[in-house]
Structure 1
Amino acid sequence: MKALGQHLLVDLHECNADTLNDLPAVRDLMLDAARTVCATVIGVTEHRFSPQGVTVVVVIAESHLSIHTWPEHRYAAVDVFTCGHGLVTSAVVDLLSERLDAGYVSAVEMQRGILPERGRLAAAGTATAARD
């Protein structure tokens, strides 16, 4: 079965704390990330936390992108979920890493909407259950 969507999860550590707290810069980064995956932007929602940190969610016709930042930990968590077309994983990860000046990056790409075989684990550390 073909995946219904692709979900990229990116953890960025040792980032520039000032950039992580700069809401316009983070918003622009996420819009650029949406363009990188050739997505159609529908809208943007953003929030600045007190005393620091931001969240930006970009709603796209194909699903969404989101970022949550913790400047005090020099850390950002990013999700890029797309449906219906392939994701340019390396390009998105490179863009995020470069613009946030990340010292360490980990990324996982998941195929969404594929039913695993009954009784088997879908991925390491993930349990599945079926209702009968």
Structure 2
Amino acid sequence: MNSISYSPGLHKLMTLQVDKAEKLTDSSGFVAFTDSILEKYDLEKVGVVVHDFDNNSFTIAVCLKESHICIHTWPEFGQLTFDVYLCNYLQDNSQKVKAITDAYVAYFEGVIIKDFEINR
């Protein structure tokens, strides 16, 4: 059997503590910020689903040609979880994934509680 060394991409999963509850309840602000990230890093959105809950928390899945960005917020606990995964078809996108997650941490002015990197 011929074994080819190939890594489909980097997947980062994070949990943040966020003091500004308004950031955890502003789904449209998150979508606008994400659109700017996609433009900056030349990523192609193929779909987005936004769900706002009764307490104004939100869940958003942004499907990309390169894979996805997902977020879930809990303003009652001052936390969010998100993940960013970009596949590596024509290029290694690992540095983009790290830069994008750094941008989200800065956007939310969050403190990292958990930070996982999975090389797929």
Q: TM-score range by the shorter chain?
A: 0.7 to 0.9
Q: CA deviation at 1:102?
A: 0.9
Identity of aligned residues (%): 26
Report the equivalent of 2:116. Answer: 108
Report the equivalent of 1:120. Answer: none
CA–CA separation in structure 1 for the residues paired with 2:101 and 2:85: 13
Identify the match of residue 86 of structure 1 among 71, 86, 93.
93
What TM-score do the two structures reach when normalised by structure 1?
0.74
Give secondary structure in 1 for the equivalent of 2:73.
strand
For structure 1, the 5+ residue unaligned runs are 113-132
The alignment yields a C-alpha RMSD, in angstroms, of 1.9
Give secondary structure in 1 for the equivalent of 2:76.
helix
Where relative contact order (Cα < 8 A, 6+ residues apart) is larger, the structure is 2
Aligned residues: 112
Does the 8 Å CA contact 1:41/1:61 hold for their aligned counterparts? yes
Give secondary structure in 2 for the equivalent of 1:46.
strand
Q: CA deviation at 1:37?
A: 4.3
Q: Structure 2: which amino acid aligns with 1:108? A: F
Report the equivalent of 2:55. Answer: 51
Q: CA deviation at 1:24?
A: 0.6
